[in-house]
Amino acid sequence: MQKLILLAGAMAVTVVAGAAPATNAADELVVTASRAGRAAAEMPQNVSIITARDIAASGAANVVEVMKNAGGVEFRSTSGNSAQAEIALRGFGENSFGRVLVLLDGQRLNRPDMAGINWLQIPLANVERIEILRGGQSALYGDNASAGVVNIVTHKGTAAPVTAAGVDVGSYGTLNLRAGTQGSAGPATYAANLERDETAGYRDRSAYHAWGAGGSLGWDKKEVAGVTLGAAYNVIDFQLPGYLTKTQMEADARQSLFPNDDAHTATLNLNLGLKAENVAGGRLEVSGVYGRQDLRSNLESWQSWSDVTINSFGVMPKWILENEIAGHHNLFLLGVDADFDRLSVNRFSDGARTTLALNGAVDKQVVGIYGRDEFELVDKLTLGVGARAEQARVSAAISPALGGAFDDVKTHHANVAEASLLYQLDPRSKLFARAGMVYRFPFVDEQVSYVGFGTDAFNANLDPEHGLSYEAGAELACGSNVTLSATAFLLDMRDEIAFNAVTLQNENLDATRHAGLETALAWDLAQVLRLHASYTFTSARFTGGANDGNDVPLVPRHHVAVGGDLRLPLDLAAGAQVNWVNRQYLGGDYTNVGPQLDAYATLDLLLRWTPARWPGLQLFGGVDNVTDENYASVAYRGMLADGYYPSPGRTWKAGASYKF
């Protein structure tokens, strides 16, 4: 069946490659993740923008389902749903989410500990667009950005009032209800949304129930000043089905062996943005953010029950000056990022929470200053240089019930620089090259053990990850309706952090090399047929030590994504998406002696009806994983048995939305 799916994908690629090439509307959008207000074509890197149009046409229920088809983006899930799916870019394996910075309107969503992002805290009804910046962004963003940045931009109001509502249903009791409104009154803007999302889950014990609300108020006096205030709140209860052996997965992928593992999270995000024009000749922007997460987990399979609260504060001022120097255009950016996270934890030895195993607090304070300058050397050729100096201070006061309390501090420093060249062939085409340094500070629970099993300690010997990143690429608009892009990258890392099952602590690994090629094609034929195809090749290997020459686990070498959208009579449109992911070694298998995770291919189909006589109405129906592929996106090597986490089989979905 995989061969049939791949044949369909190859045919689509052939059609695209032989076509006359397309307009990418995303090039006209300002990429806020650039931190200086640049269009994608003005940025010396591989940038993708998923627009509101793309989101509406996808039939997706959450941001993970929207992004999973973007070239070079991998998602792994241990629950079979999107609640805490792990994102990966540029050939990183275990804990890859720690190398991809995820922002919500510029506010960091990455947690300070080794836990993935709760993607359901971002109601899809509130998303205006998603910006994906591939490649190291440490000089611009610092910690967590060594493989790339994802910035999710929410609605901020429209010139004319818009109100929308929708409902989706699907297999396994899936239900999504959403409503939102946005508009403006003179310089004032507003947006608000409410969403409910639930499912019983493909696997036993994989249900979740979530609801969220968000909104923003803004005031913008063009070329003078502006202010925005945003808020979002989300609550989710979800079950954790756990792993299966390969034999168990092949016999019944829907079963679960862990009947009492579940979790609850409540998340609050607040952000305040201020903007003032003509400050020392430039524009001053200041963002202040606050976040709180309350997490309650019950992991009977690990004999671990915990209550965790994370409070996060951040202040991010920046100054942007755009002017002419000796007749050459110049853009200068100078900013400061100051972030503070406090993680308070109570762990218990029983589900009733009567016996305290450990309590304590871990603080992470990160302060960085950065600058970037872009100078047009000659017409269409721009040189960019940037640098950052950052300090992270991790302190912990932990009191295990078994004794051995400790109170320790570790301070890390990082100084990085980058340089780039950008040649704009035309407003929609570019050639670029970049080189720079990247880094990641340890997660707080890599630096500090606070599991409550009697082995807790402060890991003072752990160092940050560091690396050198190189890339070169091109994006070409061929004619009026086709775009082609290709980016080659090389990332040499040292001191990557991973858990050593023998010493029972996190350690810095041997050096690794991540190299690859990201390619994409897009064809838009008179808005009747839209096709896209991407191929990503990634080689991630150890380049020193006992594992020299071995592949980094959980990194597929090949990923192909092909999709299309065809306009039909009677206001109908049909869509199809093929994803094929190559084999990869199981997590933890640094010696490459165990079995590999099988390659898999999925086919998704969608049919939409947007009647011209009722503008704003859309109905859709679809089937994901049409061939009912039995596969796992992630698995880990175990001492007694390998653990596989099955992905959903064939699922159907349908929905209706109306915008007025």
CA distances from 271 to 211, 231, 289 (A): 20, 7, 4
Q: Once rounded to an integer, what is the mean pLDDT over residues 45-54?
A: 90
pLDDT at 61: 83
**CA–centroid distance for 228 within its chain:** 24
The helix (H) or strand (E) run that includes residue 2 is: helix 2-17
Flag whether pLDDT at 241 surpasses 80.
Answer: yes
> What pLDDT, on the 0 to 100 scale, is given for residue 510?
83
Give the pLDDT score at 17. Answer: 31
For 266-299, the pLDDT digits (tens) are 999 999 999 999 999 999 999 999 999 999 999 9
Look at residue 298 in the predicted model and tell me its pLDDT. Answer: 96
Answer whether 81's CB lies under 8 Å from 199's CB: yes
pLDDT tier for residue 470 given thresholds of 50, 70 and 90: very high
CB burial of residue 468 (10 Å; 0-12, 13-18, 19+): middle
* Banded pLDDT at 535 (limits 50, 70, 90): very high
pLDDT of residue 13: 35
Report residue 338 as tokens: 């100051």
Task: Round to whole Å and give the CA distance between 267 and 265.
Answer: 6
Q: What is the mean pLDDT of residues 365-379?
A: 97
**Confidence tier at 527 by pLDDT (50, 70, 90):** confident
Token couple for 235:
């609550």
CA 165/CA 10 separation, integer angstroms: 38
The HSE-up count of residue 234 (CA atoms within 13 Å, CB side) is 31
Answer yes or no: are the C-beta atoms of 251 and 284 closer than 8 Å.
Answer: no
- Looking at residue 506, its pLDDT comes to 81
Output the pLDDT for position 160. 87
Domain harbouring 419, CATH code: 2.40.170.20
pLDDT of residue 502: 66
pLDDT digits (tens, 9 = 90+) for 77-105: 988 888 778 999 999 998 899 999 999 99
320 against 106, higher pLDDT: 320
If pLDDT is split at 50, 70 and 90, which confidence band does 155 have?
Answer: confident
**What average pLDDT is seen over the chain?**
91
Q: How many domains does the chain have?
A: 1
The whole-number pLDDT of residue 62 equals: 87
Give every CB contact of residue 443 below 8 A, 6+ residues apart in sequence.
95, 98, 112, 113, 114, 497
- The sign of the dihedral angle between the CA atoms of 487, 488, 494, 496 is positive
Residue 618 CA to its chain's centroid (Å): 28
The pLDDT score that the predictor gives to residue 24 is 41
3-state secondary structure labels for all residues of 414-482: EEEEEEEEEEEEECCEEEEEEEEEEEECCCHHHHECCCCCCCCCECCCCCCEEEEEEEEEEEEEECCCE
At 135 the pLDDT is: 95
Give the rounded percent of residues in the chain with a pLDDT score beyond 90. 78
Take residue 400 and report the two structure tokens written for it.
């295990």
Domain extent, residue 187, equals 2-659
CA 409 to chain centroid: 30
44, with CB counted inside 10 A (0-12, 13-18, 19+), is: buried
CA 356 – CA 262 distance, rounded (Å): 19
pLDDT tier, 210 (very low <50, low <70, confident <90, very high otherwise): very high
Strand pairing partners for 9? none
In this prediction, residues 306-315 reach a mean pLDDT of 97
pLDDT of the residue at 222: 83
* Helix (H) or strand (E) run with residue 516 in it: strand 512-525
Spatial separation of the C-alpha atoms in residues 453 and 561, rounded to whole Å: 44
CA 536 – CA 8 distance, rounded (Å): 18
Distance separating alpha carbons of residues 286 and 335, to the nearest angstrom: 9
Q: Above 70 in pLDDT, residue 14?
A: no
Q: Does the pLDDT value for residue 452 go beyond 90?
A: no
Q: 506 is written with which tokens?
A: 């996190």
The DSSP line for 144-213 is T-SSEEEEEEE----SS-EEEEEEEEEGGGEEEEEEEEEEEETTEEEEEEEEEEEE--SSTT--EEEEEE
Q: Which pLDDT score, from 0 to 100, does residue 501 have?
A: 66
Q: 20-24, 167-171, 512-516, 586-590: lowest mean pLDDT where?
A: 20-24
Q: What pLDDT is stored for residue 560 in this prediction?
A: 96
pLDDT, average across residues 169-191: 94
CA distance 513 to 552: 9
Rg (CA), the chain: 24
Q: Does residue 149 surpass a pLDDT of 80?
A: yes
User: In this predicted structure, what is the pLDDT of residue 92?
Assistant: 94
Q: What pLDDT score does 2 carry?
A: 46
Higher pLDDT, 657 or 16: 657
Phi then psi for residue 427, to 5 deg, are -60, -15
The confidence score (pLDDT) of residue 26 equals: 39
Long-range contacts of range 349-354, CB-CB < 8 Å, 24 or more positions apart? 349/303, 349/305, 349/401, 349/452, 350/305, 351/260, 351/298, 351/300, 351/305, 353/305, 353/307
């369909």: which residue's tokens? Answer: 8
Q: What is the mean pLDDT of the segment spanning 345-366?
A: 96
Q: What's the pLDDT tens digit per position in 292-307? A: 999 999 999 999 999 9
pLDDT, one tens digit per residue, over 564-614 is: 999 999 999 999 999 999 999 999 999 999 999 999 999 999 999 999 999
- The pLDDT score that the predictor gives to residue 60 is 87
* Distances 389 to 98, 142, 343, 368 between C-alpha atoms, Å: 20, 9, 25, 6
Q: Is 423 exposed, middle or buried (0-12, 13-18, 19+ CB in 10 A)?
A: middle
pLDDT band for 71, please (50, 70, 90 cuts): confident
Instruction: Give the alpha-carbon dihedral of 244, 249, 253, 254, to 10 degrees.
Output: -30
- For residue 111, what are its two tokens? 């947690």
Whether 498 shows a pLDDT value over 90: the answer reads: no
With CA atoms as reference, report the closest residue to 428 among 383, 370, 381, 483: 483
Asked if 16 contacts 10 with a C-beta cutoff of 8 angstroms, the reply is no
